[in-house]
Structure 1
Amino acid sequence: MPPPGLKDVAARAGVSIKTVSNVVNGYVHVAARTRARVQEAIDALGYVPNVAARQLRSKRSGVIALAVPELQSPYFAEVAGLIVQAAERRSWTVLIDQTDGHAERERNLVAGLRRHAIDGLIFSPLALAGEDLARGGDTPMVLLGERVWHGPADHVAIDNTAAAAEATRHLYGLGRRGIAAIGAQDQPSAVTAHQRLAGYRAALAETGLPFDPRLVARVDRFHRADGAAAMAALLDRPRRPDAVFCFNDLLALGAIRTLLSRGVRVPQDVAVAGFDDIEDGRFSTPTLTTVAPDTARIAQLAVDLLAERLGDGPAAAGPPRELRVDHRLVVRESTVG
């Protein structure tokens, strides 16, 4: 008995073969109820798409690439895992590369797209600007992060400035008036740090607190050791803070380690808030108050946008799109005990 095909699935679901094909190929413009009915028929019949035939027809390899600055970052590791899951639902394979934020590696990545059997790229650049990314030719690309806005490709990001301001206002609302910031960076490419510093400063202005540059600690990288060293420097200054907004959770965890080692209580003496909602912060002592980007939405949108660019619909050739994803403030023990 031959294995079930598209015609069998269509008959069982009561839809056209084209509709079944759209569901199997992951096209987004299918009603949720119809998609569920087709998926139920697929599961009941045990239908397995012929990936090789699909690739032959579409002239696609079924392989996309994902490039991020560093895989050891819990945030990027989580986003990468979610992108792999979203791609798997489309029967895509994801090749993952780490650029370390080096301009030459990012440039080589973009320049080499044509030489490899890669259908598209999801890319979080740190060094390259929009004009550099435009040299990737006609390979579809989706950008993540804050480095490039209104560039040559679709872009998915959160509002870092608004999120940082919300975290800072939370600390102010707890009665804290000496609110420090850890994570400032001077290099022009450090757009994430610039935006989060802007949000911090905006919240200070909104609440009537003066900006004190002595309460801003600069770092080379967003790692635990940098947060620990920055917190030590803040504690050694004449004006000690009673709250700290850290530009990511790793910085916050390092800061908490320094505070506790100095006998400073968290949050009684110094409240600490981070950014990213990594898993470590949910199990630290104390648990970490943080800004939680909707990483699942970021990953799904990135894959969906790439799929639309790879399709033959109107979105395939449309202008680049800027999409912002929601965030929320998750309040835990490091600010409220």
Structure 2
Amino acid sequence: MKMEDIAKLAGVSKSAVSLTLNNKPGIGAETREKILRVVEEHGYVHKARGQHEEQAVRTLTFLAFANSGIVLEDYYEQPFFREIIQYIEERCRSNGYSLLFATVDPSRMLEHIEEISEEQRSDGIILLGTNLDHAQVRAMIEHLTTPLVVLDNCYETLPVSFVSINNVMGAYQAGMHLCSLGHRHIGYLASNVPLHNFHERRKGFLHALQMNDLSLEVTFNVAPTILSSQESLKKLLSEYLKQGNAMPTAFFCECDYIAISAIKTLSELGYRIPEDISIVGFDNITEAQIITPQLTTVHVEKQRLAHLAVDTLVQTILSPQQAKTKVVVDTQFITRSSTRAI
């Protein structure tokens, strides 16, 4: 029996099993208990990295700062990260590597980094940079001796390889789409958790509006990880309308989570999507095609990002003295039924 089998039996991801068996944080108590129950029932014996049988195995580690910003404790179950991890695991196997998972508690960052360095369990680390600021990434570079690649973020002044999304381009595409449909009163639904990626998306969207001689109508800040309707957004919209303002005819949302939540919230308020209000998201998670109406969004090349992260890290392991690289992957705009011309 393999770790993948335990994951299937427990109905969780392989990363969740890995974190549990290695006694790492980042797993909810209920999920951890369920995994351990399956392990006990099937007599699975986990072989630690230091055991003789594993010595010859080449491994990479996927490292995340959980409970920080948009990366929640069970981040491996969040749609965007779930897809990324799946593609990373596939690429690791094709390159002859197994994939481990580790989680850093932001409040104990340096302590956890030191533990990871001392364990020396893997040949290289893919650091999920989604929710990390410049100082946090710099600290990782300074304290880790293991080859490192940062995924889903980019700080040009730091001496490490990055693989990131062209956030500016994606949001620009979204803005141009809404303008081409004749929308002139456009709102912006921003994350109430500030992230570098979201800052870049705002920059691209505003540029599209400027190209069409428009300005942003209004910005509302909402939770970025809720797929259900949000009472806080209802209150913000109600207060805005009470002040005598007209509802925007379209909203751009900084991520699909926000967009899906907005569709549900606005529908509960009696607005029809897209007849009354058009909605555009960003990321193209699986749920974007399940929501009604299906979500117009910016497609992020998750498979391409994952493959580049693994390939860049493997090359860094093989040639540690080579120059670091910063790769930006372009987006594609996907038109579905949550937007229409006015």
Whether the 8 Å contact between 1:294 and 1:327 is mirrored in structure 2 is: yes
Tell me the secondary structure at the aligned position of residue 65 of structure 1.
Answer: strand
Q: How does 1:119-268 map to 2 (within 5 A)?
A: 119-125=123-129, 126-128=131-133, 129=135, 130-146=137-153, 148-185=155-192, 187=194, 190-212=195-217, 215-225=218-228, 229-230=232-233, 233-234=236-237, 236-237=239-240, 238-268=245-275
Whether the 8 Å contact between 1:168 and 1:203 is mirrored in structure 2 is: yes
Give TM-score scaled by structure 1 length.
0.74
Residue 94 (structure 1) shift: 1.0
Whether the 8 Å contact between 1:157 and 1:298 is mirrored in structure 2 is: yes
Q: How does 1:1-337 map to 2 (within 5 A)?
A: 61-68=57-64, 69=71, 70-99=75-104, 103-116=106-119, 117-125=121-129, 126-128=131-133, 129=135, 130-146=137-153, 148-185=155-192, 187=194, 190-212=195-217, 215-225=218-228, 229-230=232-233, 233-234=236-237, 236-237=239-240, 238-311=245-318, 313=319, 316-336=320-340
Residue 193 (structure 1) shift: 1.9
Tell me the secondary structure at the aligned position of residue 316 of structure 2.
Answer: helix
Provide Cα deviations, 1:14-69, integer angstroms capped at 9, x if missing partner.
xxxxxxxxxxxxxxxxxxxxxxxxxxxxxxxxxxxxxxxxxx9xx87412111233
| Number of aligned residue pairs | 272
Could you tell me which amino acid in structure 1 is paired with residue 113 of structure 2? V
Whether the 8 Å contact between 1:155 and 1:321 is mirrored in structure 2 is: yes
Could you tell me which amino acid in structure 2 is paired with residue 181 of structure 1? Y
Whether the 8 Å contact between 1:231 and 1:255 is mirrored in structure 2 is: no
CA distance 1:199–1:251, change in 2 (3 Å) = same
Tell me how far apart the structure 1 counterparts of residues 171 and 231 of structure 2 sit (CA, whole Å). Answer: 20
CA distance 1:137–1:146, change in 2 (3 Å) = closer
Tell me how far apart the structure 2 counterparts of residues 301 and 113 of structure 1 sit (CA, whole Å). Answer: 23
CA distance 1:254–1:94, change in 2 (3 Å) = same
Could you tell me which amino acid in structure 1 is paired with residue 63 of structure 2? A
Q: Which has the larger radius of gyration?
A: 1
Cα RMSD after superposing both structures:
2.5
Tell me the secondary structure at the aligned position of residue 323 of structure 1.
Answer: strand
Gap runs ≥5 in structure 2: 1-51, 65-70
Could you tell me which amino acid in structure 2 is paired with residue 123 of structure 1? L
CA distance 1:231–1:81, change in 2 (3 Å) = farther
Could you tell me which amino acid in structure 2 is paired with residue 278 of structure 1? I
CA distance 1:199–1:143, change in 2 (3 Å) = same
Whether the 8 Å contact between 1:182 and 1:230 is mirrored in structure 2 is: no
Tell me how far apart the structure 2 counterparts of residues 173 and 232 of structure 1 sit (CA, whole Å). Answer: 30
Could you tell me which amino acid in structure 2 is paired with residue 331 of structure 1? T
Could you tell me which amino acid in structure 1 is paired with residue 159 of structure 2? P
Q: In the alignment, what sits opposite 1:36?
A: none
CA distance 1:135–1:298, change in 2 (3 Å) = same
Residue 227 (structure 1) shift: 6.1
Tell me the secondary structure at the aligned position of residue 286 of structure 1.
Answer: coil
Could you tell me which amino acid in structure 2 is paired with residue 63 of structure 1? T
Provide Cα deviations, 1:194-227, integer angstroms capped at 9, x if missing partner.
1111122111111111234xx1111343433586
Tell me the secondary structure at the aligned position of residue 281 of structure 2.
Answer: strand
CA distance 1:231–1:199, change in 2 (3 Å) = farther
Could you tell me which amino acid in structure 2 is paired with residue 163 of structure 1? G
Tell me how far apart the structure 2 counterparts of residues 147 and 154 of structure 1 sit (CA, whole Å). Answer: 9
Tell me how far apart the structure 2 counterparts of residues 144 and 227 of structure 1 sit (CA, whole Å). Answer: 30
Residue 230 (structure 1) shift: 2.9
Whether the 8 Å contact between 2:296 and 2:334 is mirrored in structure 1 is: yes
Could you tell me which amino acid in structure 1 is paired with residue 106 of structure 2? A
Give TM-score scaled by structure 2 length.
0.73
